[in-house]
Structure 1
Amino acid sequence: MPETTRLCAVEDCGGEHEARGVEPGLELCGWHLDRLRRDLEVTPLLVRWLSLHTIPSGGGAEPVSGSREPAAPVRLDVLSMLLPGAVHPPPDDEDQVGPPSIPSTLAAWVWQVCEERGLAGPERWDDVPQLTGWLLPHLEWCAARPWADQLCTEIAALRRCTHALVPWKVHRTEKIGVPCPTCDLQALAQIAGEEYIECDERVGGCGRLMRAEEYSAYVAALARATPESAA
């Protein structure tokens, strides 16, 4: 009998279509592994961005939910992501609210890898660049672990929650006139400060990710083929 292709372990892989296949020994498809790498690489950028938005818009104080305490002069939702704290709410804990902590989420996964591989962790367990830099070289190994889908989901949530708390819409550049090399749709865009260009699924794109150098080479190839092509 022909060997059955194993599918990506991430729950929503493929959307309305069948989940993508994986390479032998892996739990994540290439599409999700690329996103895991991107989402992990940008975590220091997320911290810098959130740090600039700890004061409520307009300088007003933020009420403390469910408390008679005076209003806080800072954004508690932003601080909850910047400071050590909750990693992710347990599914049966309705009282656990608020976005996840970036340093605690990263530290939990670094600890997981340290435990399973018998390694020493970074010098500082509360330093996001150190945690990120430590974890990145282990992603291929992580992609083969039975918890790879949970890792992918939790790291993706850090970027998604940051963008929800402090939207980056005005810092998004659309690559007008340049079609995606995979789906041919003109949906390529780049978030300020990020190295990656993405075919935006929110406007019907395929989700293709390209690093800046790959995109530059692609645009140069388009220009050689069609000199009038947009750069």
Structure 2
Amino acid sequence: MTLDICVMTHAKDPDRPRQAVDGLYLCHGHREQLRRLVAEMPARADDLDRAAGVGGGRGDGTHGGIAIDDAAATHRQHMAGVLASWCRLVAEDRGITPPTGPELSRTAPWLLTHVDWCAAHRWVDEMLTELRQVTGQAMGIADIPARRVPLGEQCLTHTGGERCEGEVTIVVRGDDWTAVCTVCDEKQEATPYLRAVQAGRWINTEGVITLARMVGIAASNDVVRQWHHRRRIKGRDDGRQKLYELGSVQAYLALRQAERERMSA
């Protein structure tokens, strides 16, 4: 069975219909976008917590404090309500037990297992649009500066059996690393484009140095060893070389960026 055409609007050639995944109302790109938005909702809420906790001046010349705290807390609650409402809809329609609580740490993993079921319903366009909106608002409130790093790598997205001809830029926003194509405008997981990344999301010393330079932080073999020795990043030895967990490296580099920005504000 096929529902033929994706119901969402596309940034590139919006008048050209896109083939939907068999049995769904979304194409591959929008299906993955829905999955990513749900999966990353707790992280977006954490960004709001960090924004609310920042005191003193901000980069735009205004000040943190009550206004930011209120906006962040209000929107965090809104995000939790939105995801909880979609969980209730799924649970009621499927006749199954909903998450045990409204916290994003409970609702996001639960809803993630039902993404394809949601995508098989015509109302999925409303769901995806709403999740886009709350995510965009969260990023706006958190106001985490984005650093764009052109890689010159060809996009890995395939449409109609043909590989996209666009080149990818890595967008670094805090500890969130996303690949964005200049042609198809699809947001993708950054990992496949980082050549130094090993299987299992572990990177070698050269990979750590490369990522550090991408965000403007000087690093060397000795510096990376010091980061690990001081437990700033997680590492292991596979018998041939030292490997470092990508997530811990991204988180530490994001922290270093934030510290540098506060000092220059």
TM-score by length of 1: 0.68
Partner of 1:179: 154
Is 1:19 matched with 2:51?
A: no
Q: Distance in 2 between matches of 1:198 and 1:144?
A: 26
Any idea what the Cα deviations from partners look like across 1:184-224, whole Å, max 9, x if unmatched? 4334213342364232xxxx43134443443346989xxxx
Q: Deviations over 1:75-123 (max 9, x none)?
A: 432222112xxxxxxxxxxxxxxxxx10000000000100011111111
2:120 and 2:106 mapped to 1: Cα distance? 23
Alignment CA distance shift 1:10-1:218 (3 Å): farther
1:152-163 alignment runs, 5 A limit: 152-163=128-139
Name whichever of 5-14 and 129-138 sits farther off: 5-14
Flag the structure with higher strand content: 2
Distance 1:105 1:155 in 2: 8
Contact (CA 8 Å) 2:149, 2:171: kept in 1 or not? yes
Q: CA RMSD in A?
A: 3.3
Q: Which secondary structure state, in structure 1, belongs to the residue aligned with residue 97 of structure 2?
A: coil
Matches within 5 A, 1:2-17: 6-11=4-9, 16-17=14-15
Change (3 A) 1:15 1:102: farther
Give the direction of change, closer, same or farther, for the CA distance of 1:113–1:5 in structure 2 (3 Å limit). Answer: closer
CA distance in 2, matches of 1:12, 1:73: 35
Is 2:167 the counterpart of 1:194? no
Q: State the identity %.
A: 23
CA displacement at 1:161 relative to structure 2 = 1.0
Choose which of 42, 45, 52 in structure 1 pairs with 2:43. 45
Contact 1:34–1:209 at 8 Å: present in 2 too?
no
Secondary structure at 2:170 match in 1: strand
- CA distance, structure 2, for counterparts of residue 130 and residue 39 of structure 1: 15
- Normalised by the length of structure 2, the TM-score is 0.60
Q: Which residue matches 1:138?
A: 114
Q: Mapping of 1:32-111 within 5 angstroms? A: 32-54=30-52, 58=57, 60=63, 72=66, 74-83=68-77, 101-111=78-88
Tell me, which stretches of 5 or more residues in structure 1 are unaligned? 63-71, 84-100, 221-229
Unaligned runs of 5+ in 2: 157-162, 199-209, 212-265
1:28–1:76 CA distance, 2 compared to 1 (3 A): same
Q: Is the 8 A contact 2:11 2:184 kept in 1?
A: no
Contact 1:78/1:165 (CA < 8 Å) preserved in 2?
yes
SS of structure 1 residue aligned to 2:167: coil
8 Å Cα contact 2:3/2:23 also seen in 1: no
> Which one has more relative contact order, counting CA pairs under 8 Å at least 6 apart?
1
Letter in 1 for 2:51: H
**Does the 8 A contact of 1:198 with 1:209 survive in 2?**
yes
> Could you say what secondary structure the match of 1:110 adopts?
helix
Structure with greater helix share of residues: 2
The separation in 2 between residues aligned to 1:186 and 1:24, in whole angstroms, is: 28
Partners of 1:218 and 1:16 in 2: how far apart? 35
What are the Cα deviations for residues 53-73 of structure 1, in whole angstroms up to 9, with x where unaligned? 2267638588xxxxxxxxx56
C-alpha separation in 2, matches of 1:21 and 1:128:
32
- Does the CA contact (< 8 Å) of 1:45 and 1:193 recur in 2? no
Tell me the distance in 2 between the aligned counterparts of 1:212 and 1:116.
35
Deviation at 1:131, TM superposition (A): 0.5
Correspondence 1:167 to 2:143: yes
Paired residue total = 188
